[in-house]
Amino acid sequence: MLWNLLITLQPVQPLSETGIDLWALLMRASWVSKGVLLILVGFSLVSWAIIIGKAFVWWRLNRLDDRFVRLFHRTNDPEVLYREAYHAKASGYARVFVQMFQQRRVWTQALSDRPIDWRRELEPAVERTANEVMEDLERQLGFLATTAGVAPFVGLLGTVLGIIAAFESIGRYRTADLSVVAPGIAEALVATAMGLAAAIPALIGYNVLVQKNRRYRTELRDFGSYVLDQWVFQQRLAEMAPPPSQAAEARVAERPLRSPG
C-alpha cells in the first residue's frame, strides 16, 4: 500500500524531455518533405510581405485622399485645384479629378461654339481612371489567392509523404511501435499545419483587400459624379444668366427717371 502511494507521488518528467523535438524532426525528414516545407514557408513569407505592403499602401492612400478632399472643398478655383491635384496624383481622388479636368479642357476647346453634355462626355473618363487605380491596387492579389488555394494541397502532399514514410518504417523495422511510427506521423502533421498556416492569412488578407478595393471603386465613382454635378450646375447657371449687354440694358431700364427741374 505504501509502495503504491510512493509510486503515485513520483515527479512527472517535464514535457521538454518526453516531447518531440520539432527541429530534430525536420532534420530527420526526407528531402522531399523538406522541399514541401520550404515551399510553404516561401508562400507564407511572400504572402505576409504582400499583406504588410498593401496595408502601408492603403494607409498612405487614405491620408492623401483626405488631404485632397479637404483641399477640394476649400478651393473654389478649378485651375488651382488642378495644379495641386496634378502634383498629388498618388491619391485616387486626385487622379480622377485630373483626368476629368483634362478631358473637360479638351472638349471645351474643341466644341467651344456649342453646349456640351458634361455627364455624357466625362463619365467614361471617370470609369477609365477608376479602372486604372484599381489595377494598381489589385496588383499582387493574385498571389494571395493562389496561396490560399494551393498551400493546403501542398501541405496535403507533405502529409501523404509523411504517412508513406511511417508505413516504410513499419515495414523496415517489422513493428508498429509508436517510436517507429511517430516520426512519420509527426512529419505529416507538421506539413498539414504549415499548409494551413500559409493559406489562412493569405485567404483573410485577400478577402479584406478585395472588399476594400470594391468600396474604393464605388467611392471614386461617387466623387466623379459629385464633381460632374457641380460642373453641370455651373453650366446651367451660366446658360440661364443673361448676356452682359442685356444685363447692362436691364440695369439701365431699372434705373428710375430723374424728375425735371
Task: Output the pLDDT for position 216.
Answer: 94
Task: Output the pLDDT for position 141.
Answer: 93
Task: Output the pLDDT for position 175.
Answer: 64
Domain ranges in the chain are 28-233
Residue type, 178: L
Task: Output the pLDDT for position 1.
Answer: 42
Q: Round to whole Å and give the CA distance between 145 and 201.
A: 11
Task: Output the pLDDT for position 226.
Answer: 87
Q: Indicate the pTM of the whole model.
A: 0.73
Q: Round to whole Å and give the CA distance between 234 and 177.
A: 86
Q: Among 187, 183, 186, 181, which Cα is nearest to 167's?
A: 181
Kindly state the helix (H) or strand (E) to which residue 181 belongs, with its residue range: helix 178-240
Angle separating helix axes 78-86 and 92-110, nearest 10 degrees: 130
Largest CA distance in the chain: 141
Task: Output the pLDDT for position 106.
Answer: 75
Q: Round to whole Å and give the CA distance between 140 and 130.
A: 18
Task: Output the pLDDT for position 17.
Answer: 46
Contact between 48 and 210 (Cβ < 8 Å): no
Contact between 228 and 119 (Cβ < 8 Å): yes
Apex CA 146: angle with CA 142 and CA 149, to 5°? 140
How far apart, in Å, are the Cα atoms of 56 and each of 51, 59, 62, 64, 246?
Answer: 9, 5, 10, 12, 58
- Number of Cβ within a 10 Å radius of residue 75: 14
Task: Output the pLDDT for position 18.
Answer: 44
Q: Round to whole Å and give the CA distance between 44 and 36.
A: 12
Q: What is the pLDDT along the chain (261 residues), one digit of tens a residue?
A: 434 433 343 443 443 444 555 566 556 666 777 788 889 999 999 999 999 999 999 999 999 999 988 888 888 777 888 888 887 778 889 888 888 888 878 776 666 666 666 677 778 888 888 999 999 999 999 999 999 999 999 888 887 877 776 677 666 766 666 666 666 677 777 888 889 999 999 999 999 999 999 999 999 999 888 888 877 776 666 666 565 555 444 454 444 444 444
Q: Round to whole Å and give the CA distance between 158 and 29.
A: 11
Task: Output the pLDDT for position 179.
Answer: 61
Task: Output the pLDDT for position 115.
Answer: 62
**Which residues touch 167 (CB under 8 Å, ≥6 apart)?**
184
